[in-house]
Structure 1
Amino acid sequence: MTFSSPFPDVEIPDLSVYDFLFGSIADEDLDRVALVDPKSAAETSYRQLIGQIDAAAGALAARGIEVGDVVGILSPNNREFATVLHGILRAGGTATTINALFTATEIAKQLTDSKAKMLVTISSMADQAAAAAHQVGIPDENLIILDGVGQGKSNHPNFVDLLEPKLAVPEVTIDPALHIAVLPYSSGTTGDPKGVALSHRNLVANVAQIKPLQGMTPDDVVIAVLPFFHIYGMTMLLNAALHSRARLVIMPKFDLVEFLENIQKFQVTAAYIAPPVAVALAKHPIVDDYDLSSLHTMMSGAAPLDDELGKAVATRLDLHMVQGYGMSELSPVSHLIPFDTPAILGREDPPLSSTGWAIPNSENKIVDPATGEEVAIPAEGLSQRGELWIKGPNVMLGYLNNAQATADTIDADGFLHTGDLAQVDTGGVVYIVDRLKELIKYKGYQVPPAELEALLLTNPKIADVAVIGVIEQETGEEIPKAFVVKQPDTDLTECEVIDFVADQVAPHKKVRAVEFIDLIPKSASGKILRKDLRKTGPAL
């Protein structure tokens, strides 16, 4: 049966992302600090940020970006990322955010599929960005290197070149419900990455939906180590914090010592992490050397958090640990444990092994994948397992130029089929217990087996291959493991297979274990029987 969120519906304004975030900002908030670079201690106020966004929008329009044009962003977290992202949206463009670890080939693939006309990056990534831009035909003047030497000394504009002219903001008209604001790439439930078309309304809705559960205020200082190019970091950190007038302490990558130093120095109150960070916080002895008493809330997402691990972090740091669930196709949040469950719902927190309740303005179903029948909410205990389906204003418009994949994921009633198996208890708390989809989640990043299999099959020494996720005993992480059938009379080692993949993909996609077998188990239709491989390939 369908069950709704226990939280009251919230108002979702019919606004663009820019107007929602900044259109009604109070005068007293303009001089609050919005963004902090902890290494340089440089700060950007809300007044400065809005001015920069407007200037970027004017510059992009002057450089030929029109309504609906796509601009790629290849960058780790920095203050400029916020300006560029929202400048693109302000100009009526669409931002496709690219994983900062991607190779030139992977970057070019996303630029091609999204039909990007411009690419924005930083100097440390300029080589792969330039190679990708050249491959897809983006001219030098449309490759912006934010911290580069600029147009005076190169063919590439930099951040100053983008903002200094202070050109007027273009007058654009968009439909927030239909205009694509951002285009992150996701593998959905299986297969190659696809462009996830998220409208302005999707992004506005998700911030509005999580706001009463997140509890962020202007007094909060939030550490931003999760990448903004990932929809989790973009919505939960960047947009939600800006809407709440909080202060973001921005880190380009995770380093445990710097993470701890920044929490202590800037009196960080809230942190958003993925489970690998929780492991370090629970176990590393250096944590005890820092005063982290300012932290009151920590949220884990992007991959399942073990209940025992979450409690260990909460106890050691004396904070409130919560968990959420979502996916890029949901903008991304669909379920949360609130920051103050007793005050909001009059109940105690659910177990950390759960993902909490459905967010406001949303409906859920759990459906038996074998029969198509809806699973009933139990009178006690947990329901039967089934695939989790979700409906709400945060559900994507669809996959870019892929009507079939969209139809396979969003049904005629508007429910998105997550590909994750779930259970629900009598109070509506949802537990993710397994997944139907074939994706591997390594450190919170999606690794599509089909992509690695296609790559491995280009190796002349490999006759057949299948890739699955297995649990590494030492870390508890899911890692990609390849089952390889060698060509007859061929010498091939595990190291050769691992190196072959590593040379051609981003680090998180690397194969990390190899097993040689005689035959890949397949169904009569030729589909790889991954469940059989899991029996032969246990945890390492």
Structure 2
Amino acid sequence: MILASSIALGIVAAYLAVAILQIVRLRLGFRQALLYVPLKLVYRIRDRKVRAARAVQTPVIYAITHQSRLDPALMLSLLPEDTLHILDDESARSPWLEPWRALARTIVFKAEHVFVSRRLVRVLKGRGRLAVYLPDTIEPDTKTYRLFRAVARIALRADAKVVPIFVGEARYLPFSRSRATDGRRRLFPRLSVNTLEPITIAELMALSIKQPARASNALFDRLAEARLAAPDPKRSLFLALRDAAFRYGPHHPIVESFEQAESGRMHATLSYRQLFVGARTFGHRFASVTAPGEAVGVLLPNTADMVVSLLALWSGDRVAAMIKPETQSAGITTAIRTALVRTVVSSRSFIANAGLSQAVEAAEKGGAKFVWLEDVRKNITIAEKLVAAALWWWPVHMRQEAATPAAILFTSGREADPKAVVLSHANLLANARQLEARLSIGLDDSLLNLLPVSRTFSLTGGIVLPLLAGARLLLDREALGSQREAAIAAKIRPSIILGNDTSLAAHGRLAENFNLSGLRFAMVGTGTVDDETRRIWRERFGARIVEGFGLTEAAPVVSINTATHNREGTAGRLLPGMRMKLEPVSGIPQAGRLLIQGPNLMLGYMRASQPGVLQALGDGWHDTGDIVDVDREGFLTVMGRAGRIASVGGEIVSLDAVEALACQLWPDGQHAAIAVPDKHKGEQVTLVTTADEPDLLRQFGRLAGASDRLIPHDIITIADLPRLDSGRIDYAAVRQMALQRLGIVAAA
């Protein structure tokens, strides 16, 4: 009896000691601490930001993303006791929540009066606090979005500060409010209470570039930023994807690959565990011929082996240098030397089937040696396989840092030599999570990636995003928009397709005889989408095409249209966590040169003039070189590159749009639109083309209803356009040629 009493007293003393610790740490009330302790111990809650949130001066609104039925108990335990909590009907009536409801004032949510009631404004103006639980929805419908409007209106009227709160991992609790397909339920996930600095709605609205933003949009974006703050920002790509494997289940099928082989069609499906086993096996082999932090070239098609190889490099703290196979030989040699690539991972069958022997020679000329996956696979021992199977979740290189380089992508821009854009683990993860905070994607989705992984959007949106979100990744080695490829898409029934206008237009034409039911949307990675392509997809598939704006330096997505915020003809709204500003451009009063800042912004450049030297961003802002217009709701309209715009008689003409018009008439031709001096109108547009009948363009433009501004003043026909080593058009050489032909060299 004495022993039992002693044990009981010891337990009570320990419980009280932990409660007192929370009182000291977080400034909780005594009753709050008593009820918080079991939650703290069971879910190992990270709560270091709570104390600052409690200390915010009134009036204040705590805007909580309501993910699970545990959220009210947690918030009633942590927020100041004088906070008025507006609960949903279930939380207001649940018997098990009664002890927590007694900690503070609560009222039941009623849509017809809560968010229009003057009482709440009076509560706030009387130096009060509100806790509002908003639905956990990434793309809210019109009815749900009214809640954001109402809360924003109350905060604006009361001039109250808003503190967003997001409980990380709460959506995976057994009593989550989310769909079962959003993630595997776990009994005891480790929770984290994430908050952002207090700010008023008026201050958020004032961040808009031109006119003040809408209050509801400002609040919606702020809560999305709190969602981004939930994951640990110090996790590397390998560790973050490993976390996803544990979250969704090691045996969850995650990668499905289709390949054409001599024996017929090959189909491989990998679970998370199989993916990581392969990565650890390959990772040891790659580590034996490279050093930590070294750039390793990747020249592979869209297959499961490519995903395994990327994960293997990240597991060993190697940097994946993504080589574009279509780049001309001189460009590949320069890229290899610029990034100091000494080893390239590739496949003999891919090189042979794609006819890339010249690319191999160019890489070897730059000083690189090849590691062939066929050889790696053949030489793997049974012992290596057993170790990889037993320790699949362990990285090859134990020290994993988010701020270190993860990938190098090559972009030529308009320069003579390619630039190497260096992206960190944090950059790629941030952009994938920014997309995840804007687009609804989860376990019941399957994403078909039609873009080569050497493109940044394919790497982030087509590899990292689905692996992070648990969506099945579908890869086709020969994703060329062919009849066969369209048939594959109909067979595997993806819910999301990632491609460009060319591949999506091909699907629209070829898939009319196939069933693509279940397709929700397509994401466009490069270029603009033709109106006809958009119409076909809407009418034939009932799916929307998600357009946006991006650049390699931003890993790459900057803005995007969504179901909630969508406006055709624009590049969508800025991703959460990003900031922008416009620098005035002479002659374009309604727009400006776009500068951006955000967690997805690159580490810096490597240039051919200084191989291997990282040139970091100076003040954290990056000049995109694009001229954009931004409306009150934050939608970006990209008018063109700073060097790809002509001012004709005071009117702005996009040279890219002129080229697009020529491509519609002559899709197989080569076209370059440039601006040349004109003494009467300042500038005129000249089209240099390989087409034989230039006069047809003027007739075609009028019949197509194109603006007169898009009809070039002069059209010059040549046999072939000069190109850079990267394969892109050399616009400087084209302009010089046109000036000579037009006899205005002196005016240049």
TM-score clears 0.5: yes
Distance in 2 between residues matched to 1:356 and 1:80, nearest whole Å: 34
1:118-129, aligned counterparts within 5 Å?
Answer: 118-123=343-348, 124-125=350-351, 127-129=357-359
Q: Does residue 1:426 correspond to 2:426, yes or no?
A: no
Q: Is the 8 A contact 1:470 1:480 kept in 2?
A: no
- Describe the SS at the equivalent of 1:131: helix
1:433-472, aligned counterparts within 5 Å?
Answer: 433-437=639-643, 471-472=662-663
Residue 222 (structure 1) shift: 1.1
Instruction: Identify which of 468, 474, 487 aligns with 2:665.
Output: 474
Distance in 2 between residues matched to 1:104 and 1:232, nearest whole Å: 24
Q: Is the 8 A contact 2:418 2:608 kept in 1?
A: no
Amino acid at match of 2:469: S
Instruction: Identify which of 491, 504, 525 aligns with 1:278.
Output: 504
Distance in 2 between residues matched to 1:305 and 1:163, nearest whole Å: 49
Indicate how the Cα distance of structure 1 residues 228 and 86 shifts in structure 2: closer, same or farther if over 3 A, else same: same
Q: Is the 8 A contact 1:206 1:394 kept in 2?
A: yes
Residue 254 (structure 1) shift: 1.6
Distance in 1 between residues matched to 2:461 and 2:531, nearest whole Å: 22
Distance in 2 between residues matched to 1:233 and 1:133, nearest whole Å: 23
Q: Does residue 1:74 correspond to 2:304, yes or no?
A: no
Distance in 2 between residues matched to 1:390 and 1:434, nearest whole Å: 16
Aligned match of 2:601:
395
1:6-45, aligned counterparts within 5 Å?
Answer: 6=218, 7=221, 8-9=224-225, 10-11=228-229, 13-26=233-246, 29-38=249-258, 39-45=265-271
Q: Does residue 1:367 correspond to 2:583, yes or no?
A: yes
Q: Is the 8 A contact 1:98 1:107 kept in 2?
A: yes
- Describe the SS at the equivalent of 2:297: strand
Aligned match of 1:105:
330
Residue 470 (structure 1) shift: 7.5
Residue 196 (structure 1) shift: 0.2
Q: Is the 8 A contact 1:270 1:296 kept in 2?
A: yes
Indicate how the Cα distance of structure 1 residues 2 and 35 shifts in structure 2: closer, same or farther if over 3 A, else same: same
Q: Is the 8 A contact 2:490 2:516 kept in 1?
A: yes
Instruction: Identify which of 211, 226, 230 aligns with 2:455.
Output: 230
- Between stretches 234-243 and 268-277, larger displacement belongs to 268-277
Aligned match of 2:283:
57
Identity across matched positions, percent? 22
- Describe the SS at the equivalent of 2:570: coil
Residue 21 (structure 1) shift: 1.4
Amino acid at match of 2:365: Q
Residue 92 (structure 1) shift: 0.9
Aligned match of 1:197:
422
Distance in 2 between residues matched to 1:14 and 1:518, nearest whole Å: 53
Q: Does residue 1:132 correspond to 2:358, yes or no?
A: no
Distance in 2 between residues matched to 1:403 and 1:397, nearest whole Å: 18
Instruction: Identify which of 240, 243, 247 aligns with 2:468.
Output: 243
1:452-531, aligned counterparts within 5 Å?
Answer: 471-474=662-665, 479-481=670-672, 494-495=718-719, 497=720, 517=738, 519=740
TM-score (norm 1): 0.74
Q: Does residue 1:3 correspond to 2:208, yes or no?
A: yes
Instruction: Identify which of 568, 573, 579 aligns with 1:357.
Output: 573
Q: Does residue 1:316 correspond to 2:535, yes or no?
A: no
Distance in 1 between residues matched to 2:521 and 2:397, nearest whole Å: 41
Residue 508 (structure 1) shift: 6.8
Deviations 1:439-483 (A, max 9, x none): 9xxxxxxxxx9xxxxxxxxxxxxxxxxxx9883232679954395
Aligned match of 2:412:
187
Indicate how the Cα distance of structure 1 residues 187 and 132 shifts in structure 2: closer, same or farther if over 3 A, else same: closer
Whichever structure has more helix as a proportion of its residues is 2
Aligned match of 1:145:
372
Deviations 1:494-529 (A, max 9, x none): 44x46x86xx96777699x999756178999x9x96
Indicate how the Cα distance of structure 1 residues 333 and 21 shifts in structure 2: closer, same or farther if over 3 A, else same: same
Aligned match of 2:308:
83
Distance in 2 between residues matched to 1:101 and 1:87, nearest whole Å: 25
Residue 276 (structure 1) shift: 1.5
Q: Does residue 1:46 correspond to 2:256, yes or no?
A: no
Instruction: Identify which of 333, 349, 354 aligns with 2:557.
Output: 333
**Which of these two proteins has the greater Rg computed from alpha carbons?**
2
Q: Is the 8 A contact 1:203 1:331 kept in 2?
A: yes
Q: Is the 8 A contact 2:299 2:324 kept in 1?
A: yes
- Higher relative contact order, chain-length normalized (CA < 8 Å, sep 6+): 1
Aligned match of 2:621:
415
Residue 191 (structure 1) shift: 4.5
Residue 50 (structure 1) shift: 0.9
Distance in 2 between residues matched to 1:171 and 1:386, nearest whole Å: 45
Q: Does residue 1:384 correspond to 2:605, yes or no?
A: no
Indicate how the Cα distance of structure 1 residues 184 and 429 shifts in structure 2: closer, same or farther if over 3 A, else same: same
Q: Does residue 1:295 correspond to 2:524, yes or no?
A: no
Distance in 1 between residues matched to 2:742 and 2:316, nearest whole Å: 51
Deviations 1:367-404 (A, max 9, x none): 21239xxx9xxxxxxx8111122110111111115899
Indicate how the Cα distance of structure 1 residues 263 and 510 shifts in structure 2: closer, same or farther if over 3 A, else same: farther
Indicate how the Cα distance of structure 1 residues 523 and 219 shifts in structure 2: closer, same or farther if over 3 A, else same: farther
Distance in 1 between residues matched to 2:343 and 2:608, nearest whole Å: 23
Q: Is the 8 A contact 1:78 1:251 kept in 2?
A: yes
Indicate how the Cα distance of structure 1 residues 510 and 80 shifts in structure 2: closer, same or farther if over 3 A, else same: farther
Amino acid at match of 1:358: L
- Describe the SS at the equivalent of 1:471: helix
Q: Count residues in correspondence.
A: 450
Distance in 2 between residues matched to 1:295 and 1:240, nearest whole Å: 18
Aligned match of 2:488:
262
Q: Is the 8 A contact 2:315 2:397 kept in 1?
A: no
Deviations 1:152-173 (A, max 9, x none): xxxxxx4443686447753342
Indicate how the Cα distance of structure 1 residues 133 and 308 shifts in structure 2: closer, same or farther if over 3 A, else same: closer
- Describe the SS at the equivalent of 1:428: coil
Amino acid at match of 1:137: G
Indicate how the Cα distance of structure 1 residues 332 and 28 shifts in structure 2: closer, same or farther if over 3 A, else same: closer
Residue 201 (structure 1) shift: 0.9
Indicate how the Cα distance of structure 1 residues 160 and 370 shifts in structure 2: closer, same or farther if over 3 A, else same: farther
Instruction: Identify which of 439, 445, 459 aligns with 1:214.
Output: 439
Residue 429 (structure 1) shift: 1.0
Q: Is the 8 A contact 1:29 1:245 kept in 2?
A: no
Indicate how the Cα distance of structure 1 residues 258 and 197 shifts in structure 2: closer, same or farther if over 3 A, else same: same
Distance in 2 between residues matched to 1:61 and 1:427, nearest whole Å: 49
- Between stretches 103-112 and 48-57, larger displacement belongs to 103-112
Residue 275 (structure 1) shift: 1.3
Q: Is the 8 A contact 1:264 1:292 kept in 2?
A: yes
Distance in 1 between residues matched to 2:423 and 2:604, nearest whole Å: 8
Distance in 2 between residues matched to 1:239 and 1:257, nearest whole Å: 28
- Describe the SS at the equivalent of 1:312: helix
Residue 134 (structure 1) shift: 3.1
Distance in 1 between residues matched to 2:381 and 2:444, nearest whole Å: 29
Distance in 2 between residues matched to 1:231 and 1:355, nearest whole Å: 17
Distance in 2 between residues matched to 1:193 and 1:163, nearest whole Å: 40
Gaps of 5+ in 2: 1-205, 210-216, 259-264, 389-394, 646-654, 673-686, 690-716
Distance in 1 between residues matched to 2:243 and 2:280, nearest whole Å: 12
Distance in 2 between residues matched to 1:279 and 1:26, nearest whole Å: 38
Q: Is the 8 A contact 2:294 2:319 kept in 1?
A: yes
